[in-house]
Amino acid sequence: MGGPTWTVKLGRRNSATASETDANDNLPSFTDDLKELISLFSRKGLETEDLVALSGAHTIGQAQCFTFRDRIHNEDNIDSSFASTRQRSCPTSGSNTNLAPLDKVTPNSFDKATSRTWFN
């Protein structure tokens, strides 16, 4: 896929248990806006630059329809061409499990195309 590579040691434990409550309280939601994301990262001692870096790591992947349906059909601050593309694969009702690539330009490449589309 291209992009950077690094060796990751196996066997590390972040926790002995998993907690849905902790995850819901400490991880961003797909419904969070930029202000909420910056605030969440700040509370964890992270900077806006960290948010940008983590977001850039999402150049590969897909999102299910239910995570973006409301925005593409109800908000006017989204590029109309992008919204139209997403609306075709995600109608106003049903099709919750339809998938759309996070990066519409090069969805299978680890590159800078995602961040370029954020600013166009």
Please state, in angstroms and rounded to a whole number, the distance separating the CA atoms of residues 37 and 55: 11
- Does residue 26 lie in a domain region? no
Q: Is 106 annotated as a binding residue?
A: yes
Please state, in angstroms and rounded to a whole number, the distance separating the CA atoms of residues 105 and 113: 7
- Domain range for 47 is 31-119
- Does residue 111 lie in a domain region? yes
- Does residue 9 lie in a domain region? no
Q: Helix 48-56 crosses helix 34-43 at what angle (to 10 degrees)?
A: 110
Q: Is 28 annotated as a binding residue?
A: yes
Please state, in angstroms and rounded to a whole number, the distance separating the CA atoms of residues 43 and 32: 15
- Does residue 14 lie in a domain region? no
- Does residue 102 lie in a domain region? yes
Which residue type sits at 87? Q
Q: Domain tally for the chain?
A: 1
Q: Is 31 annotated as a binding residue?
A: no
CB 64 within 8 A of CB 96: yes
What the block records as the tokens of 99 is: 């998938």
Q: Is 114 annotated as a binding residue?
A: no
Measured CA distances, 97 to 44, 83, 86, 94, 105 (Å): 32, 18, 13, 9, 21
**DSSP character for 18?**
-
Q: Is 32 annotated as a binding residue?
A: no
- Does residue 109 lie in a domain region? yes
For residue 71, count CB atoms less than 10 angstroms from its CB and return exposed for 0-12, middle for 13-18, buried for 19 or more.
middle
Q: Is the pTM of this model over 0.75?
A: no
Q: What is the pLDDT of residues 54-100, one digit of tens each?
A: 887 777 888 999 998 998 999 888 888 889 988 988 999 888 889 98
Q: What is the pLDDT of residues 12-59, one digit of tens each?
A: 566 778 888 988 888 898 889 899 999 999 999 999 999 988 887 777
CATH of the domain at 73: 1.10.420.10
